[in-house]
Structure 1
Amino acid sequence: MEIKRKKFQGVLNILSFNRHFYVWGMAMLTLIILSPYIFKWSDLLLWIIITAFIYGLFMPLIVSAIVYDFSGYYDFKWLNNLKKTDSKTNKIVNINAGFDETSFILKNNFPESDLKVFDFYNAKLHTEPAIIRARKVSLVYPNTQEIKSNTLPLEDNSIDIIFLLSAAHEIRLHEEKIQFLKECRRVCKPNGQVIMVEHLRDLTNFFAFSIGFTHFFSRKVWKSAFISAGFSEFTETKFTPFMSIFNSIP
């Protein structure tokens, strides 16, 4: 099955999944604009607050368009810059957190491979409205298995590539990250690799998402988790200023 993304699909997803945020944000912005009719305050302060609200509402949409709609992220051509990735790779795993936009595309890029898809979404832990809405519209790859983050139902040293595409940050506890990555390392072949794509909790993403950047984790946190899980190599490649691709070797 070939998945063709709509124009501005990334932006539409952000608006749809986070509509509660935008409804409240626009309501607050309207109240702020109307507030001078109720009480007087500094014009300068008023415009600073209005500008901050507009920035906070629309900058994430602009960045999402850059990353998800114009960068070629879903073309997966960036894989060509990573070693040991080719269309004949045999066994591939794609792990998501309840929202899967990539499995069908991965299968198209690796048509001869055996692709297994796992979903570690936990309704008790992952209660954010955005992920709940995303799950309702997510395409489910055939035979996708729901798992716990600390258990992959796979044999030792059996997988060539594990993809973690904008999903691993949903594992909030550091120790749980380590246990999850230990499982990834266990099932990887000695010459296999884990390819993780994530926004980072850094200055660039702060300017992009303001307080929302706290939903992500820093490079230091991820490096610590991978090293603690026993990986021997941890390299980073920037994919746009807002996204990092991590390539880890057991």
Structure 2
Amino acid sequence: MEKGQKREMEKVRKPLQGVTNIIRFNWHFYVIALALILLLLFVAGFLDNALQTYIYIVCSLVLGAMVISLLVSMYVYDFSGLYKLQWVEQENTENVVVNINAGFDETSALLNAKFKRSELIVMDFYDPAKHTEVSIKRARKAFPPFPNTKHTRTDHIQLTDNSVDKIFLTLSAHEIRDEDERAAFFREINRILKPTGQIYITEHLRDLANFLAYNIGFFHFHSKRSWLKTFEKAELNAGREIKLTPFISSFILTKNGNTL
């Protein structure tokens, strides 16, 4: 990557933007956790020493889990290089690049800087009736969409067959909670992809690393097995998996073939 291009890409993200956004959009979780800790500490004042010890342990576990999740998020989103996109293959022959988000877009400006010679089409499949995450609603209010972003449906992407060189879904496809809807969406992605094109699906997985980092929050992610099942239903080949960090995987998909 050229130095000038790298500097331009870095300008679109502020320091600690990732972990700051997590707190900003999910503040209710942290308020509830802190309120629980304060309530338990208050109750402990009326109990004997033995019971107080158990309460202090519970408070420490709750606080520790919260701190660990924020530290992991800071590493993943602010220090791991996830948003430098050095792991994305660039052939300089891409005519059309599509970036699809779920209502919150942190990557279109980065892709626009990386694929300067390509047409970048940005699409948003967020449907408030289906995708009810309060954090997404807050993010949409705080950050305007990338210029000329088009709304799309998960069952129909308004692009012609075999017309796109690269498609990116970064930390967004997991918001499609229904398995059948997710498979139909990926069949649409397959339809618009050129025979020689690539799809980058970047996600947390429901695995041990993410359980240790986010405890019960890891249920919001899908397992690797679930993703591979979706890709298979859509007749996509998951030829490569890049572990960007122990907590983030990027699957590079192509048309047809055998899955991992």
TM-score (norm: length of structure 1): 0.94
Letter in 1 for 2:25: F
Aligned positions of 1:119-130 closer than 5 A? 119-130=124-135
Report the Cα offset of residue 173 of structure 1: 0.7
Q: What is the CA-CA distance between 1:140 and the residue it aligns to?
A: 1.4
Cα-Cα RMSD: 1.4
Distance 1:125 1:24 in 2: 25
In 2, distance between residues paired with 1:226 and 1:234? 11
**Runs ≥4 residues deviating over 2 A:** 1-4, 38-44, 85-88, 232-235
Equivalent residue letter for 2:74: A
SS in 1 for 2:236: coil
Aligned length: 246
Matches for 1:71-110 after TM superposition, within 5 Å: 71-79=80-88, 82=89, 85-110=90-115
SS of 2:87 mapped into structure 1: helix
**Residue pair 1:101, 1:139 contacting (<8 A) in 2 also:** no
Q: Which amino acid aligns with 1:74?
A: Y
Identity %: 42
What is the Cα deviation at residue 72 of structure 1?
A: 1.1
Shift of 1:234: 3.6
Distance in 1 (CA, whole Å) between partners of 2:44 and 2:52 is: 9
Could you report, residue by residue, the CA deviation over 1:155-213 in whole angstroms, capped at 9, with x for unpaired residues? 10000000000000000011111100000000000010110100000011001111000
Counterpart of 2:38 in structure 1 is: 30
Q: TM-score of the superposition, structure 2-length normalised?
A: 0.91
Residues 55-70 of structure 1: pairs in structure 2 closer than 5 A: 55-70=64-79
Secondary structure of 1:93 counterpart: strand
Q: Distance in 1 between matches of 2:203 and 2:58?
A: 30
Uncovered stretches (5+) of structure 2, i.e. residues with no partner = 1-7, 256-260
Structure 1: state its 5+ residue gaps. none
Instruction: Give the conservation status (yes or no) of the 8 Å contact 1:164–1:197.
Output: yes
What's the secondary structure of 1:209's corresponding residue?
helix
In structure 2, the partner of 1:163 is 168
Contact kept? 1:87, 1:109, Cα under 8 Å: no
| Counterpart among 210, 222, 226 of residue 227 in structure 2 | 222
> Structure 2 CA distance, aligned partners of 1:234 and 1:131?
31
State whether residues 169 and 216 of structure 1, in contact with CA within 8 Å, keep that contact through their aligned partners in structure 2.
yes
